[in-house]
Amino acid sequence: MQNKGLVKFFAILLAIVCIYQLSFTFVSNSIEADAKEIAKGDAQEELSYLESMKDSVVYPIFGYTYSEVRDKQINKGLDLEGGINVTLEISVKDIIKGLANNSTNSVLNKALDKATEDRQGNQDYLDAFFIAFDSESKGSIKLASPELFTNRVMGSKSDGGVDTNMTDEEVKVVIRKKVSESIDSAFRVLTERIDKFGVVQPNIQKLGESGRILVELPGAKDIDRVKKLLQSTAQLEFWETYKINELQGFLLAANETLKNTEEKEDVEVKEDEPSSDIESLLGDDKDSLEALKGNNPLFDKFIPNQIPQNQTSPVIGYASVKDTAKVNSWFNRSDIRASLQGEQRYARFVWGKEDVTRNPGMLELYALKGNRQNVPQLSGNVITGASESFTQLGKPSVEMQMNTKGAQIWERMTGKAYTEGGYIAVVLDDVVYSAPGVTSGAISGGRSVISGAFDVSETKDLANILRAGKLPASADIIQSEVVGPSLGQEAIDNGINSALVGLLLISLWMIIYYGKAGLYANIALVVNLLFLFGFLASIGAVLTLPGIAGIVLTMGTAVDANIIIYERAKEELRFGRTIDEAIKIAFSWKGAMSAITDANVTTFLTGLVLLIFGTGPVKGFATTLLIGIVTSLFTAIFVTRILLDMGKNGNLTFDTSLSKNWFKNFNFDFLSKKKIAYVISSILIIGSFVSFFTNGLDQGIDFVGGRTFQVRFEEKAPIEEIKKDLSSDAAFGSSVDAKVFGEDSQLRITTKYKVEEHGIAADKEVNDIMYNNLKKYYSNDITYDQFVNTYEGKKVGIMQAAKVGPTIADDIKTNSYWAVAGSLLMVFLYLMISFRKWQYSLGAVAAVAHDVIIVLGIYSVFYKYAPFQMEMNQHFIAAILTVIGYSLNDTVIVFDRIREFLASKMPGTFKEVVNKSVNTTITRTINTSLTVIFVLLIMFIFGGESIQGFIFAMLVGIFVGTYSSLFIATPIVVDTTSDKDKAMIEAEHTEDAE
């Protein structure tokens, strides 16, 4: 090998750099271990310790602080660290409405609604809106119309805004820019909120220009608090309120109207039951018994506020959380609102914040004094500062300071409230936090206080939200995942165990089969892992459980290049060449390098597609796979070559006394069995399609949307009872799927209940239903926090939870289709360019399609009976793409030998030469398949239940892929090669033989 010294120097330098990069991970892990030891399970104390160490020098050799070391370590994904991962979608629809100054134009609003309904796959909402607007307007109104986007919000053309002379295309450019600016603003606001939240190494990133923002909070444990922090738009408003006595007449009139439209509900009444609040409201001339029998639809679900006659209150009444949606629908009906007279017709009915301590499950209703424009007298844009504090009674509160303009308006509002004995509601994101009266005159100076049913963490978050500012539009959680730290530690242990056992098995096999050369391959494998982890550390990659799977799979495929080289060297030795000549030929382009290059490029292309279209942990798998391919090539081509050159003067061998005669003179007529293979494959493919149409596939929430919970019990879980409880009308009211997940004390529960609702209330309601229906299956009195939230050492309750909204599910499905189709197209084009014959491309793609269909078919047939999850999700698509890569790798090695033999002077007919080509690669095919199967079996056994379905797909794919490369791909090349080309090749071989 030329420039051997330079290669050695470069390899040693690279190893030193990798060790240096990995040292930060070791130092950081040491500090975090100390924090866990000191905290003894107290998450807040652990975080406080790490915060206190932030500026301390912990790597004295290079003078790095803990903060600097932490930024350079290999980050662990949520499935290894535990924490919360959410994808937020900023409502582009709301942004467009705001840019149009909340126009009531019918064309605009129809176009917005149509864009929501017609949006396809990964299509941006803005593109869908422009298409819908063109369809709805039909040229009747321009985007630059004063009714639409020529307004004070957009600004003038000279300031980058819009004027009436601009064309629709010009306005679209401006709208795109403004929407992008709004999303950037949302990104900055969320970043500021998260930075102050208090988690180590938060990650927040924009996902293109789609309006989606990925937020990862490793170690976060209070789920409800995190969701509230992220979804709050911080739309702070101050409104005057109506008093209960001003709206009693309206409530009575609404109840009378509902009597004519709502079905009566039977209410069981005891004779000795005391007089109700409803009876007091109706007075002596109303029959209270009739009211309780269900003749008052409104008051069956809504309890009016009862106060002494000489007092007032801004609280109109009360309702349980589950009834608020019904009450809202009633109060929004035009026939009911017709009872509101004068200024009252603009009244806004808004619920208060739930007091989970004094009155859990009940909400107060307020009536705000709205106006025609629905604009408050005072909004949050006047707030200049906010801080957490305490009231005179010692209750947590938030103090706010306003600017000069806000202070003047606040003084007028509080002065009026004092004079009239009124109340001012403090409303944040359409929730009334408090509605105090003013007892000591007008408040000057712009200082105000929000108090109410708070704890200290809530006031801290609220002050944080107000300081960071409001979001430009609503932010909905369209995808989320919660992983407990206990589950993360289990995943780490499983991953490490499978990696170590896999490494041991591969190393043992290589020594048994290749002897001393196998030992060199093992050394190269260790160096490969060093380079791989060093690269991951240097680029700040996030290591996930699928990422560990990618690393372990890399170990299986890393030896493939060495196997190809060694098998070629053995062939050359059989031809009588010296060990030095055999090594040189094996490492030449005409030796093993062309096959290695083609095989790894095809695998790299499929990994690249996975990186582009995958999300979350799947990207982690793709990242490690791609880096692994590069490091494997480097170590196989250069490191192994250096080791072989160093050992070739000794007793270097490429086999052992045990393996010396294995597969020697192996000769099997593969092409004679092609008809049998075609029949078998046809039966399997037809059977797969029949199963697709009859059984279908178990599509996970990634593809169809939904909520899934991994729930662990103390003992074996009664599946049917749990399914019945959760499917009842008192729970989710629809079919719930529950399956054993790993041990029989752990279930995976899936529901689509309120998956299209993105608010905090819907998520909290789902958690409440889960807790209330499952707590009876625990022997101890498990609390809501213990059941729902995550913490160190958690053994029972919700261990992991995920939610995927229907919009992002469609996008994931679309990305999956593109990923599979894109990888096949790229490989087809590459092979056609590399082999210069379309027959090779067709054979490879046909074999891959064959493999994918059969793997899908097996999943379709067995998913109802398998003791592990066999659902279609992102991990499954990653497995399918890996199968594609492996199948191509295997097929390309065979094709490369066919191409070489057909171009050589080997005697024989076309079919005989092809058969010899396949037979000479059989050792490599079996060796590589066995090493990969060893690794995958270990991962399937030790890797944990969360990746068993993922690994099983790859295991099936390896078997099917090996079969197809021998019995499908090669025969297709033979059958599609024209008789003319075959005759020409045979003539050349006959001439050469003579």
Residue 631 contacts residue 535 (beta carbons within 8 Å): yes
Look-up of token digits 């729970």: 731
From its phi and psi, is residue 455 left (phi > 0), alpha (psi between -120 and 50) or beta? Answer: beta
Residue 421 contacts residue 492 (beta carbons within 8 Å): no
Task: Give the H/E segment covering residue 948.
Answer: helix 948-964
- pLDDT above 70 for 367: yes
Radius of gyration of the chain (CA): 34
DSSP letter for 431, please.
E
Q: Where in the chain are the domains?
A: 4-73, 89-211, 236-261+295-470, 484-695+810-991, 706-804
Sheet with 348-351, strands from edge to edge, namely 303-304, 315-320, 362-368, 348-351
Mean pLDDT of the chain: 79
- Dihedral over Cα of 888, 890, 892, 895: its sign: negative
Residue-wise pLDDT tens digits, 757-770: 766 677 788 888 88
pLDDT at residue 269, rounded to an integer? 42
pLDDT at residue 808, rounded to an integer? 66
pLDDT at residue 366, rounded to an integer? 92
Look-up of token digits 């599979």: 820
From its phi and psi, is residue 115 left (phi > 0), alpha (psi between -120 and 50) or beta? Answer: alpha
The residue that leads in pLDDT, 323 or 545, is 323
Q: Once rounded to an integer, what is the mean pLDDT over residues 393-404?
A: 79
Residue-wise pLDDT tens digits, 185-208: 777 777 776 765 655 567 777 776
The residue that leads in pLDDT, 734 or 517, is 517
> Which residue from 235, 158, 760, 196 is spatially nearest to 469, judged by alpha carbons?
235
Hey, what's the torsion of the CAs at 542, 546, 550, 552, to 10 degrees?
110
The residue that leads in pLDDT, 92 or 489, is 92
Cα separation, 726 vs 733, whole angstroms:
7
Task: Give the H/E segment covering residue 303.
Answer: strand 303-304
Please name every residue paired with 87 in a beta bridge, in sequence order, or none if there are none.
Answer: 214, 479
DSSP structure string for 368-399: E---TT---SEEGGGEEEEEEEE-TTS-EEEE
Hey, what's the torsion of the CAs at 123, 128, 130, 136, to 10 degrees?
160
**Pairing status of strand 75-76 against strand 542-543:** parallel
Residue-wise pLDDT tens digits, 416-450: 888 888 888 888 778 888 887 877 778 788 777 76
pLDDT at residue 467, rounded to an integer? 65
Q: 484-695+810-991, what's its fold?
A: Multidrug efflux transporter AcrB transmembrane fold (1.20.1640)
Three-state DSSP class for residue 434: strand
Residue-wise pLDDT tens digits, 964-983: 888 888 888 888 888 887 78
Q: Once rounded to an integer, what is the mean pLDDT over residues 796-814?
A: 74
Q: How confident is the model at residue 469 (pLDDT cuts 50, 70, 90)?
A: low
Q: Once rounded to an integer, what is the mean pLDDT over residues 241-256?
A: 89
Sheet with 212-218, strands from edge to edge, namely 203-207, 212-218, 83-90, 475-483, 797-804, 706-712, 743-751, 737-741
| Longest pairwise C-alpha distance within the chain | 121
List Cβ neighbours of 265 (8 Å cut-off, separation of 6 or more).
Answer: 294, 297, 300
User: Of the ranges 465-469, 575-579, 664-668, 851-855, which one carries the lowest mean pLDDT score?
Assistant: 465-469
Residue 537 contacts residue 22 (beta carbons within 8 Å): yes
pLDDT over 70 for what percent of the chain?
A: 85
> Which residue from 46, 79, 55 is spatially nearest to 200, judged by alpha carbons?
46
Q: How confident is the model at residue 268 (pLDDT cuts 50, 70, 90)?
A: very low
Cα separation, 829 vs 841, whole angstroms:
7
Hey, what are 330's tokens? 């009633």
Cα separation, 72 vs 81, whole angstroms:
17
Hey, what are 386's tokens? 């906010």
The residue that leads in pLDDT, 674 or 808, is 674
User: Which amino acid is present at 749?
Assistant: I
List Cβ neighbours of 410 (8 Å cut-off, separation of 6 or more).
Answer: 238, 378, 402, 443, 446, 448
User: Of the ranges 89-98, 208-217, 338-347, 671-680, which one carries the lowest mean pLDDT score?
Assistant: 208-217
Cα separation, 228 vs 88, whole angstroms:
12
> Which residue from 816, 817, 839 is spatially nearest to 828, judged by alpha carbons?
839
pLDDT at residue 272, rounded to an integer? 43
Cα separation, 745 vs 713, whole angstroms:
5
Tell me how far the alpha carbon of residue 111 is from its chain's centroid.
30
pLDDT at residue 286, rounded to an integer? 43
Q: 236-261+295-470, what's its fold?
A: Gyrase A; domain 2 (3.30.1360)
Cα separation, 405 vs 394, whole angstroms:
31
Please state, as a whole number, how many other Cβ atoms lie within 10 Å of the Cβ of residue 561: 27
Hey, what are 73's tokens? 């370590």
DSSP letter for 443, please.
P
List Cβ neighbours of 700 (8 Å cut-off, separation of 6 or more).
Answer: 708, 871, 872, 873, 876
Classify burial at 192, counting beta carbons within 10 Å of its beta carbon; exposed 0-12, middle 13-18, buried 19 or more: middle
Residue-wise pLDDT tens digits, 288-313: 434 444 578 888 889 888 887 778 88
pLDDT at residue 688, rounded to an integer? 92
Residue 590 contacts residue 807 (beta carbons within 8 Å): no
Residue 536 contacts residue 627 (beta carbons within 8 Å): yes
Hey, what are 515's tokens? 């002897």
- pLDDT above 90 for 349: yes
Q: How confident is the model at residue 772 (pLDDT cuts 50, 70, 90)?
A: confident
CB neighbour burial string for 245-273, b if at least 16 within 10 angstroms, e if fewer: eebeebbbebbebbeeebeeeeeeeeeee
Residue-wise pLDDT tens digits, 702-759: 777 788 888 888 888 888 888 888 888 888 877 787 877 767 788 888 888 877 776 6
- pLDDT above 50 for 993: no
Residue 498 contacts residue 644 (beta carbons within 8 Å): no
Hey, what are 571's tokens? 């062939």
pLDDT at residue 685, rounded to an integer? 93
pLDDT at residue 760, rounded to an integer? 67
pLDDT at residue 697, rounded to an integer? 82
pLDDT at residue 283, rounded to an integer? 44
Q: How confident is the model at residue 689 (pLDDT cuts 50, 70, 90)?
A: very high
Give me the phi and psi of 369, to 5 degrees please: -80, 85
